Amino acid sequence: MNPDLDAAPGIVAIVLVSVATLAIGTYGLRFSRTTSDFMVASRTVRPGMNASAISGEYLSAASFLGVAGLLLGFGADMLWYPVGWTAGYLVLLTLVAAPLRRSGAYTLPDFAEARLDSQLVRRVCSLLVVAIGWLYLLPQFQGAGITLASAVGGPTWIGSLVVGSVVLVNVIGGGMRSITLVQAFQYWLKLTALLVPAAVLLVVWAGDGRPGADPAIGHAGGGGPLPWSSPLAESGPMGLYLTYSLIVATFLGTMGLPHVVVRFYTNPDGRAARRTTLVVLVLIGIFYMVPPIYGALGRVYAAELAATGRSDVLVLELPRLMLPGLGGDVLTGMVVGGAFAAFLSTSSGLAIAIAGVLSQDVTGRAYAGRRLGGVAAFRVGAVLAVVVPAAVSLSEPQVGVATTVGLAFAVSASTFCPLLLLGIWWRGLTAAGALAGLLVGGLGSGLAAVLTLFPGRADGWVEILLQRPAAWSVPLAVLAMVGVSRATRARAPLHVRRFMVRLHTPEAVELDRG
C-alpha cells in the first residue's frame, strides 16, 4: 500500500481533533475575563459538566495507550492499573472532595498555607505541584510522539510540538473556563474513538472463529511465554511487592494529582464536589472496560509488538492488523484521533494546575515590580508549564507511558496524600510535621522516579524498589508527619479548630445559621 495513503487517516484525525479543540476553546474565550475565570472557572461548573471534564483530563496517554500495552506484555495482573486509577476516586470522594472544596483555596499550596499558616510549607508544596505536573506531562508528550511515528510515520518530536502548541493556545487564551468545555468534549470523543473500533474488532475476531493466544509468545528481553493469568504466584516476593506497591500508589495518588485536585475548586460547593466525583466514577469505569479488549485481542493478532518492545502502539496498529483495507484505515483514524484527544485534554489540565501555582508563587512575584500579575502572570506560568517538559521529553528514555504515569502517582501518594488526609482529618498536624513528611516522601519517591527514568545499573530488589516506591515511601512520609507533629504539638496553628469546623461544616448548615 502507498505509505502516503497509510498516513492519511492519522493526519486527517489529528487535524480534525486539533481544529475542534481550538474551536471549542475559542468559544470558551467569551466567558473568561477575570483571574478566577482562568484559575477555577469562577467556581460555577456544575457536576455533570465538571465530571465529563475531569474524566477527559484524567484519562491520559497511560489510559488510552498504556493499559492495553501492559496487558499485551504482562497479562491480566496489569488490570490493577485501571482498577487503582478508578478506586482512587472512591478514596477521594469519601475523604477529601467536599472538605477540600470548602477550604476556599485555589491550589494545593493555598490549602497548605491556610491549614498550617506556613509560607515555607506553601513553597515546598508549590515545588511538588510543579514536579508532579511535569512528571505527568512527560508521558503525554511521549505518547504524542509515539502516535505520530506509528500513524503518520513522522518524527517523534512533531507530536510534542503539536500537542504543546494547541494546549498553549487554549490555556493562554481562556484558562480553566475555556478548558472545561474542551475537556468535556474530549472525554466523549475518546470513549467513542476507543469503543467503536473495539466493537468492530470483536466482530472480526468472532468471524475468525474466536482464536486464542499462542502460549509460546515471548516478550522483549526474554522471560519466556506471556501468561494471561496473574503472575503473583509465579513471581514470588518481587511480584507480590510490585503489585501491592502499585495498589498503594494508584489508590492514594489520585487525591494529590494537581490537575485532579484543582477541578474540585471549580464546583459551587462541597455537595456539588461529591456529586461530581460520583459521576466521574461512572464515566471512567465505563472507559476502563474497553482497553482490556485491545490487550486480549493483541495477544492473538499482534504478539510481535510485545516481542519487539512496542506494546504502547497496540491500540494504534491493531485495527489494520485485524482488518486490512478501508475499514482498518477508518478505525485507525478513529483511535489516532482519540489518542491525540487524550494527550491534549490531560496536558491542558496539567498546564492549568502548574500555571496556577507558578502564577501565584513564582511568575507573579517575580514580575510584581513590573505590574505583571493576575492573568498575565498566569499566561507566563502556562508557557513554562508546557515548554519545560516538552523539551525534556525529547531526550527522555522510552520507559513506557503507563510506567511514567505510575511514578507520578507514587510521588503524589508519598507527599500530598498524607498532607491532605492528616490536614483534613487530624488537627494535630503542624507545619514542621507537614514539612518533614513532604521532604521524606518527596525526596524518596522523587529520587526513585529519576533513577527509573534514567536507569543505571540497579538490578534485583534495588531495581524493584525504585520502580515502585510507594509501598515504602508512603509509610515513611506518614510516620514523619505524625512523629514530628507530635514532637512539635505546642506549635500547632492557633486557628486550627476554626479551620477544621469550616472544612467539615456543610454549606446548608452555614446558610441556616446565616
Residue pair 206/199 in contact by the 8 Å Cβ criterion: no
Q: Output the CA torsion sign for 247, 129, 356, 506.
A: positive
Examine residue 297 and state whether it is found in any structural domain, yes or no: yes
Examine residue 293 and state whether it is found in any structural domain, yes or no: yes
CATH of the domain at 353: 1.20.1730.10
Examine residue 512 and state whether it is found in any structural domain, yes or no: no
pLDDT at 367: 45
Residue pair 275/50 in contact by the 8 Å Cβ criterion: no
Encoded amino acid at 263, one letter: R
**Which tens digit of pLDDT belongs to each residue from 413-464?**
999 999 999 999 999 999 999 999 999 999 999 999 888 877 665 677 888 8
Examine residue 50 and state whether it is found in any structural domain, yes or no: yes
Residue pair 303/216 in contact by the 8 Å Cβ criterion: no
**Which tens digit of pLDDT belongs to each residue from 94-118?**
888 788 878 877 778 889 999 999 9
The chain-wide mean pLDDT, for the chain, equals: 81
Instruction: Give the structural domain span for 245.
Output: 3-507
Residue pair 186/287 in contact by the 8 Å Cβ criterion: no
pLDDT at 1: 43
Window from 40-54, 116-130, 235-249, 435-449 with minimum mean pLDDT:
40-54
Examine residue 233 and state whether it is found in any structural domain, yes or no: yes
Whether pLDDT at 24 is above 70: yes
Q: Is 408 exposed, middle or buried (0-12, 13-18, 19+ CB in 10 A)?
A: buried
Examine residue 513 and state whether it is found in any structural domain, yes or no: no
Question: Structurally, how many domains does the chain consist of?
Answer: 1
| pTM, two decimal places | 0.82
**Angstrom distance (rounded) from CA 313 to CA 297:** 13
Whether pLDDT at 310 is above 50: yes
Residue pair 35/176 in contact by the 8 Å Cβ criterion: no
Greater confidence (116 vs 27) lies with 116
217 secondary structure, DSSP code: -
Whether pLDDT at 28 is above 80: no
Examine residue 514 and state whether it is found in any structural domain, yes or no: no
Encoded amino acid at 7, one letter: A
Average pLDDT, integer, range 461-484:
93
DSSP helix/strand/coil, 225? strand
**Which tens digit of pLDDT belongs to each residue from 352-377?**
888 878 877 665 454 444 444 567 77
pLDDT at 40: 52
CA angle 51, 140, 471 (to 5 degrees): 80
In the structure grid, which three cell numbers stand for residue 262, read together? 484543582
Number of Cβ atoms within 10 Å of the Cβ of 201: 21
